[in-house]
A and B are shown apart, each in its own frame.
With several copies, the nearest count.
Chain A
């Protein structure tokens, strides 16, 4: 293990306000083989895994970032004197998950799946920067097209869109529910 590399990576993650991506690591470090970087990152993450540690390094939004652990939430809030962070409304969450799974998608397509007009939720999500407009669809009326953002991934602690719950997982839950019904 390259100890020096590990220390530098710790510094970079520590300094970074957004998840530190491999791209940025390479930009800063220059010529270091990716396997070496990955090995050092893994060793570093191990350092923070013991139960007596309060912070840890998570992979989120395509990069590495320090966060506190969920079980210490109340201490942080007591320290910062803030309320519990607010969750998304279920209308917004529904809209967001539809966009996540069907992107790129238009408002009309979202509304068709939800069965209700979703303009307000779209607005909320745009303002929270969880989704963005990425262009227009080549269709009558040229409607605007939406996608989820990098911040969306970070918000849910996903590393990439591939980390979204898979279709099979969802189907499995449906099956289970069906069994309890019958």
Chain B
């Protein structure tokens, strides 16, 4: 094996075979054109794939591999490869070594007929049979994949009921403010001591709300509001919601006063508004 034989710009196509196959497989006649390996190594998914390809090409039964012929083909193929990356293709070399080992075992004179169990090819044949099953499963899965790739699903949440009805329910800023102050009163009663949390910026909060909406589609604002750690943060989040509504980034709907406020991103929002906002 010559590692790293740099052939200028020839990596894409394996060159035509320079030497003519002197002996075609004893078992099966193969046309010379079929024997030219116009395939690059990369298309094989590994040494077993290559081996399977060689065996099929010779139209041999896997259980009865003519080891000498296959070993020669295999090595020849590796030699044609312009560059062998030893790290990456150690597996190819390992199978090469295995083939040579099996060949030598089979050449050894035996006292008795080799029984099935002792056939040195056995280990390789078992692996090939298993691998062959994988290849067939692959082709069956590929068909299913092709069918599924041409089917389209919806990745967005479809509209609920009539959109024009929903429009009538759009929350006014007044509704929002009123709700908010009622909640604040409630929260004030609950919060005996107001812990001063970290400073929350409006920008951060807006980003958090928009991120949340982008991920979850919609938000139950009252739930979000009451999950805020401090009153200050809750205030900021409410202010942010107002800003987002004002800038037409989100739409907020409330069916009745004191009921939950549902918030969605507007489809027609201008993108720059979703990332913080700018005070002039």
Contact = CB atoms under 8 A, between A and B. Distances in A.
Contacts, number: 183
Given A66-B158, A73-B161, A173-B136, A97 B141 contact: yes
Nearest to A68: B152
Interface string A50-71: 0000000010110001111111
Contacts of A165: 136-137, 140-141
A170 B149 contact: no
Interface residues on A, range: 35 or more
B267 interface: yes
Contacts of B160: 15, 67-68, 73, 76
A44 interface: no
A175 to B, nearest CB: 11
Contacts of A123: 227
B137 A60 contact: no
Contact of B145 (A87, A116, A119): A87
B279 interface: no
Contacts of A60: 148, 162-164
A119 B267 CA distance: 27
Secondary structure at the A interface, as helix, strand, loop or mixed, is: helix
Interface of A: 11, 14-15, 17-18, 58, 60-61, 65-71, 73, 76, 80, 84-85, 87-91, 93-94, 96-98, 100-101, 107-108, 111, 113-117, 119-120, 123, 141, 154-158, 164-165, 167, 169-170, 173-174, 178-182
6 contacts: A60-B163, A87-B145, A91-B215, A115-B49, A115-B131, A119-B233
Interface of B: 45-49, 56, 59-61, 87-88, 91, 95, 127, 130-138, 140-142, 144-165, 195, 198, 200, 204, 207-208, 211-212, 215-216, 218, 224, 227-229, 233, 267
